[in-house]
Amino acid sequence: MPRDYLKKATLTAQSHATEVHDTVKTILADIEAGGDAKALEYAVKFDKFDGNVLMTADEIEAACALVPERLKADIRFAHDNVRRFAETQKSTVSDVEIEIVPGFVAGQKAIPVDAAGCYVPGGRYSHIASAIMTVTTAKVAGCRHITACSPPRSSEGVAPAIVYAAHICGADSILAMGGVQGVAAMTYGLFGLPSANILVGPGNQFVAEAKRILYGKVGIDMIAGPTDSLILADGSADAHVVATDLVSQAEHGYNSPVWLVTDDRGLAQKVMELVPALIEDLPELNRENAFAAWRDYAEVIVCSDREEMAACSDDYAPEHLTVQAEDLDWWLGRLTCYGSLFLGEETTVSYGDKATGTNHVLPTSGAASYTGGLSVHKYMKIVTWQRATREGSKSIAEATARISRLEGMEGHARAADVRLAKYFPDEQFNLTADE
């Protein structure tokens, strides 16, 4: 049967995507031209902060001292999990070489980028976990310099827990600056910082647009939209747990889509009955975000069977994908498009967002159909090299000359010809593609 939408979104993640472009473009141009002074001007305007923006060692130490010991222990626990997972990921990429033909060797080398800029949201929520996710992976990758950048809170500066997390995870510098101005400062190498080779980390629509515009001048982890989550649930799922998980992700923001896909109409209806009260029970700011996200962006879809459910999920390519259904191994083998997968009621997106070790910087808005999330690999350039003896280059040169002439690229062909003539002056070669 066709997919039956018990609830259909009235808006999409792209509904307001173009509104901030001109503003961001102007700010970036101003800061590129005006340097430190212009960035500080925007910091006063948007961050409402006129304190020291590049934190000193004493300021970092003082901020760390404000963090309760229990929270420090939790941050260290999460950092250790993320670090160990990143180290395991890094071990999957190694320098290799292969003898293409006798005497001709080609290879691969993994080189970390020099400088990474890690944006850590700190406005509406203090995203401690984002500091852990971004800085730790950059450190494990081997980046020489890591800047953590986070919005200050008026005269208070960056949230102490963010400072502590960034510090213990390996940030070399901590920049008290938010929004477009913070992204620009890392990109252009302001305040004595090295210019970032890559910008990573989540942020609001202005930060996301700044990264989009700057992509090409610097690398980025991905072009991110609002966070999104999809739950696949069959009749065995607990409706209260499903509803709670949907609400937990809707609180991210007013435009954060959440979707339920099921083959059990009764479960779908029960979840829809439960969600409003769960939203109402949230603190005020969280409640406003979740209410708007559920009202405007959420969808509830009933499918005929699990295969149709899986196909629906792959079409959406969600950032976060949860399966609360029987036969988890089947789902693991079948599903192909997601940023991160959470199998079974015993885990949840919140675990991955904070502490399990897998990264929470993930592709949104359907980008999971072609890319994965932030990992240690994002900071590493996979480059190639080659070396040959004269004898080893002979067959390569002959093939290169003939292919090049067939393509009409005579200059390329002659680069091969000159080597054959130099290395093998007594031999004759057919270097045309006529035969």
**Looking at the structure, do residues 187 and 294 belong to the same domain, yes or no?**
no
| Pair 250, 150 in one domain | no
Q: Is residue 144 part of a domain?
A: yes
What is the Cα–Cα distance from 150 to 148, expressed in whole angstroms?
7
Domain assignment of residue 310, given as a range? 226-371
The residue annotated as part of the active site, out of 127, 209, 319, 360, is: 319
**Is there a domain that residue 178 lies in?**
yes
Task: Supply 213's token pair.
Answer: 């515009």
Contact 249, 338 (CB under 8 A): no
| pTM of model > 0.85 | yes
pLDDT at 128 over 70: yes
Active-site hit among 145, 167, 320, 360: 320
Closest CA to 271 of 247, 240, 299, 293: 240
Q: Are 161 and 148 in contact (CB under 8 A)?
A: no
If asked whether residues 134 and 149 sit together in one domain, one would say yes
Q: Which residues of 156-195 are buried (b: 16+ CB within 10 A; e: fewer)?
A: ebbbbbbbbbbbbbbbbbbbbbbbbbbbbbbbbebbebbe
Name the domain count of the chain. 3
**What is the rounded CA–CA span in Å between residue 115 and residue 195?**
7
| Residues counted in the chain | 435
Task: Looking at the structure, tell me whether residues 39 and 173 fall in a common domain.
Answer: yes
Q: Tell me how many degrees the CA angle 202-205-211 measures, rounded to the nearest 5.
A: 65
- Indicate the pLDDT class of residue 156, thresholds 50, 70 and 90: confident
Label residue 154 by pLDDT band (50, 70, 90): confident
Whether 433 maps to a domain, the answer reads yes
- Do 356 and 432 have their domain in common? no
377 is catalytic: no
Q: Are residues 142 and 280 located together in one domain of the fold? A: no
Q: Could you tell me if 237 and 367 lie in one domain?
A: yes
Q: Is residue 422 part of a domain?
A: yes
Residues 206 and 281 in one domain: no
Q: Residue range 65-76: average pLDDT? A: 97
In a domain, 59, yes or no: yes
pLDDT in tens, 251-310: 999 999 999 999 999 999 999 999 999 999 999 989 999 999 999 999 999 999 999 999
Task: Say if residue 215 is in the same domain as residue 241.
Answer: no
Q: Is 319 a catalytic residue?
A: yes
The dihedrals phi and psi of 292, each to the nearest 5 degrees, come to -65, -40
Same domain, 85 and 192: yes
Q: Is 326 within a domain?
A: yes
User: Are 360 and 400 within one domain?
Assistant: no
pLDDT tens digits for 157-213? 999 999 999 999 999 999 999 999 999 999 999 999 999 999 999 999 999 999 999
Q: Is 12 part of a structural domain of the chain?
A: no
Instruction: Please tell me whether residues 410 and 358 are part of one structural domain.
Output: no
* CATH at 292: 3.40.50.1980
Residue 1 counted as domain residue? no
Q: Which residues pair with 101 in a beta bridge?
A: 104
